[in-house]
Structure 1
Amino acid sequence: MQQRTFLAARAARWARQRPGRLDALSAALTWTVLGPLSVLVAGVTGLVLATVTIAPLAVRRRFPAVVLGCTTAAFALQLLLVPIPLPANAAQAIVVYTVAAHVAATGVRLTALALAVTGCLAGAFRWSTPPQQTRNALVIGVTLAICSVLIWVIGELVRGARANTAALHDARLQLARQRRVSAAAEIHDIVAHSLTVVIVQADAGAYAAGSSGSWRAADAAATLTTIAGTARTALAEVRGVIEMLQEPGPAEPAGAEVGRDDVRRLIDSVRTAGLPVRADVPDWFDELPAAVRLAVLRSVREALTNVLKHTGAGVTARLAVEREGDAIRLRVEDDGPARPAPGGSPPPSGHGLAGLRERLRGLDGVLTAGPLPEGGFRVAVTIPRARGGER
């Protein structure tokens, strides 16, 4: 059942969706009230001046600067023809508010304020009569000028609030885009690593089954178990990233649950895929800030996945996580054949080592990758510990 809304809420929604019609309707109502009153004060001249003053309000938000010019000219004409104020002069306060609230140019807004104050003082001297003409003119003029300044200030505050709301909306959109990009990169890393392990295991199993008569059922079961376990882990991690997208929170997936055991499980999955890994993950790893632990896990996953992708049998990888002053340094090296370092700028999708380098910049982290002089390849990551949000 559709939820009912209050009449005021529906009217406000209509006004937001049709500002031009609202301005035209407001101008018509204002003329209906103030036009006849101006006739009573100054006859036909008052009616003409009221019409010239109020009619531009129909387009006040579309052409605020033009409306300001029209009403200023109408007021100057009024000072020449009519020695008394008109009820229609209230429309000029609406113009001052409109310019302050809807014009971006500071010069135009300040011009509206100056014209309003000048008009108040000029009108006060035109309308005052003896005795004590000067004193009455100053009192009336200053009072009207203060009211005009307050109206202008209210318009400025409304314009500032609208600008802040627009900035917050843009920030929310930017945050949503960052979350989607982060999730895409995270899913890429998970899927790339898992599929690499699955492909290596499947290829090894197919080769063994086709070329080795001694391949046993236990070997097949172990290979299939590894494939199934890797797939389940990847599925669970992808679901976690998708759930992160569906909930409000930071642009990066939470790293509070990442610990030393997660790094060990990752290393074990790579070992099961056939890549020997000599690893040193210290006990103090779990004491690191959550963002640093997550970055280390991502870096290890990407580096070991690249070793699996680009090297063959007989290659050994070495992993070390160390403290260097106030920074955490991670190194993943292999003794396989030399291969060129990834060059160029990171792709827009933020995938691979280039994408990891881009994401590490959020922690002031630095990633370097390249061949070793004696052969093999190294991926090195340095992350300032304090940038993780904890000391």
Structure 2
Amino acid sequence: MRQRTFLAARIDQWSREHPRRLDLTLAGSMWLVFGLSSALAGLPAFLIATAVILPLVVRRRFPTAVLLWSAAAFGVQLMVVPIPLPANLAQAVVVYTVAAHVVSLPIRLLALGAALAGSVLAGLRWSTPPEYLVNVFKNAAFLGILSVLVWVIGNLVRGRQANMRALREASARLEESRLQRERFVVQRQRVAAAREIHDIVAHSLTVVIVQADGAEYAAEHAQPWDRGDAGRVFATIGRTARSALTEVRGVIEVLREADAEADGPGEPRGAGLGLAELRQLVDSVRAAGLAVDVDAEPAAFDDVPTAVRFAVLRVVRESLTNVLKHAGPYAAAHVTVTRAQGGIMVRVEDDGVGVRRADAIADHGSEPGYGLDGMRERLRALGGVLEAGPRPGGGFVVEAAIPVAVLSPSARPAGFAAAPGGMRRSGE
């Protein structure tokens, strides 16, 4: 229902929206009331009243020019007409207009000085004996006080309008800042989604390439060609592709969940992502020829946000993809997922020699958002930490600690402290 407003408020709003119409209405009304009534003092008085009132139509557009014109007309009135006119009220409107709408302080002071000088001259011209000097003082004081009050009111209105403009500008800046923050958040979500999809596709293509290369070699050199092996290869490729598609859809669901700021009512957090998806991921890597052993606590994923579950799968997927690429053809990997104090610990290690580990780190950490640096950045956003490096006895290890509650880096649990040589749970 539309809220009702007072008549004065509606008039004020209309006057702000149509200032020229207001000035035209004001000038026309004053001329009909005060201009015509000034004709009782004679034709010169009528002409002077008209000359004083009609310029009010452009008083906001040319306030200084209207002030000078009004002062000149008042001087002519003092010489031609021996009495005050009702149209002299228009000169008070001119003083108010200059005080309210002119930024220059000297011009505003000029208007005040002209009003005070006119008050003194009017007192001298319009006072009568026998107490002439007393009447001059009274008339000049009355007109001077009235002029000062009108001038002060105009300045107060100008200050209020300046404050309102400043508030509107500040509000506009705040709104623009809010829009920029929203655009920044949307851009970050898009970048995060692109990174996730890159990792998912990179891992899946690595498995598919290994399987396809193996199938191609077997088709050319193996005698005889085993149809069962070929079926297993294609089945692995199909499972990997379907798993990648599911994970890409999961990334989009996580973004939607972030927009909603809450999971659906009655639906457990992170539903559909857990040990089954972890084992499916490991099976796809095993099918590519890498021996992987998994040790995951059954309750590790209980009551865990979707973003944290995705982070666990990302760490395992990226680490095993690196093992496939760099650990050598006869490497074996071990994956450990345990529940620690307030979060999940992930450890992926291999015993391969492959290429030099320093080269592997440089290869995977050179581009922001990819490899180890990308994992660190994404875990940092969840309040987690990641350590990676060569094992003392050979091979490579990746360790990650991710809080169950998504925290800022300054609010990480005490049990997730990183120690030299890798992360350790408190108490170990």
TM range, smaller chain? 0.5 to 0.7
Aligned with residue 381 of structure 2, among 355, 362, 374: 362
SS of the equivalent of 2:346 reads strand
Residue 104 of structure 1 corresponds to: none
- Please report how far the alpha carbon of residue 236 of structure 1 lies from its aligned counterpart in structure 2 after TM superposition: 3.5
- Please report how far the alpha carbon of residue 380 of structure 1 lies from its aligned counterpart in structure 2 after TM superposition: 1.9
- Please report how far the alpha carbon of residue 227 of structure 1 lies from its aligned counterpart in structure 2 after TM superposition: 0.5
**Per-residue CA distance 1:181-223 (angstroms, 9 max, x = gap):** 1111011011011111111111222233333325522221111
Residue 85 of structure 1 corresponds to: 92
Tell me if the contact between 2:254 and 2:306 (Cα under 8 Å) persists in the aligned partners. Answer: no
Change (3 A) 1:82 1:377: farther
- Please report how far the alpha carbon of residue 359 of structure 1 lies from its aligned counterpart in structure 2 after TM superposition: 2.0
Tell me if the contact between 1:49 and 1:78 (Cα under 8 Å) persists in the aligned partners. Answer: no
**Whose RCO is larger (CA < 8 A, sep 6+)?**
1
SS of the equivalent of 1:387 reads coil
SS of the equivalent of 1:382 reads strand
Tell me if the contact between 1:53 and 1:92 (Cα under 8 Å) persists in the aligned partners. Answer: no
Q: Superposition pairs for residues 179-328 of structure 1, below 5 Å?
A: 179-213=189-223, 215-241=225-251, 249=259, 256-257=270-271, 258-282=273-297, 283-328=299-344
Change (3 A) 1:239 1:88: farther
Residue 99 of structure 1 corresponds to: none
Q: Identity percentage over the alignment?
A: 38
* CA distance in structure 1 between the aligned counterparts of 2:200 and 2:343, rounded to whole angstroms: 26
Residue 3 of structure 1 corresponds to: none
Q: Which amino acid aligns with 2:195?
A: A
| Pair 1:377 & 2:405 matched | no
Aligned with residue 352 of structure 2, among 308, 319, 336: 336
Q: Which amino acid aligns with 1:354?
A: D
* CA distance in structure 2 between the aligned counterparts of 1:387 and 1:328, rounded to whole angstroms: 12
TM-score, normalising length: structure 2: 0.62
Tell me if the contact between 2:30 and 2:53 (Cα under 8 Å) persists in the aligned partners. Answer: yes
Tell me if the contact between 2:112 and 2:148 (Cα under 8 Å) persists in the aligned partners. Answer: yes
SS of the equivalent of 1:176 reads helix
The structure with the larger Rg is 2
* CA distance in structure 2 between the aligned counterparts of 1:117 and 1:87, rounded to whole angstroms: 11
* CA distance in structure 2 between the aligned counterparts of 1:241 and 1:190, rounded to whole angstroms: 10
**Per-residue CA distance 1:126-172 (angstroms, 9 max, x = gap):** 78764545764565455444433432332222212211221122122
Compute the RMSD of aligned alpha carbons: 4.5
- Please report how far the alpha carbon of residue 381 of structure 1 lies from its aligned counterpart in structure 2 after TM superposition: 1.8
TM-score, normalising length: structure 1: 0.67
* CA distance in structure 1 between the aligned counterparts of 2:285 and 2:224, rounded to whole angstroms: 24
Q: Which amino acid aligns with 2:212?
A: A
* CA distance in structure 1 between the aligned counterparts of 2:113 and 2:403, rounded to whole angstroms: 66
Tell me if the contact between 1:365 and 1:382 (Cα under 8 Å) persists in the aligned partners. Answer: yes
Q: Which amino acid aligns with 2:221?
A: S
SS of the equivalent of 2:345 reads strand
Q: Which amino acid aligns with 2:230?
A: A
- Please report how far the alpha carbon of residue 291 of structure 1 lies from its aligned counterpart in structure 2 after TM superposition: 2.7
**Per-residue CA distance 1:352-384 (angstroms, 9 max, x = gap):** 322222222212322222222221111222334
Q: Which amino acid aligns with 1:264?
A: R
Aligned with residue 182 of structure 2, among 169, 172, 196: 172
**Per-residue CA distance 1:302-358 (angstroms, 9 max, x = gap):** 111111122333211111223454453321111111421524996666223222222
Unaligned runs of 5+ in 2: 1-16, 36-47, 75-90, 120-138, 414-428
- Please report how far the alpha carbon of residue 48 of structure 1 lies from its aligned counterpart in structure 2 after TM superposition: 7.7
Tell me if the contact between 1:276 and 1:316 (Cα under 8 Å) persists in the aligned partners. Answer: yes
- Please report how far the alpha carbon of residue 228 of structure 1 lies from its aligned counterpart in structure 2 after TM superposition: 1.0
Change (3 A) 1:203 1:344: closer
Change (3 A) 1:346 1:138: farther
SS of the equivalent of 1:287 reads coil
- Number of residues paired by the alignment? 335
SS of the equivalent of 2:388 reads strand
SS of the equivalent of 2:223 reads coil
* CA distance in structure 1 between the aligned counterparts of 2:99 and 2:168, rounded to whole angstroms: 18
**Per-residue CA distance 1:41-90 (angstroms, 9 max, x = gap):** 877688789768515xxxxxxxxxxxxxxx6x669868976873345954
Tell me if the contact between 1:334 and 1:376 (Cα under 8 Å) persists in the aligned partners. Answer: yes
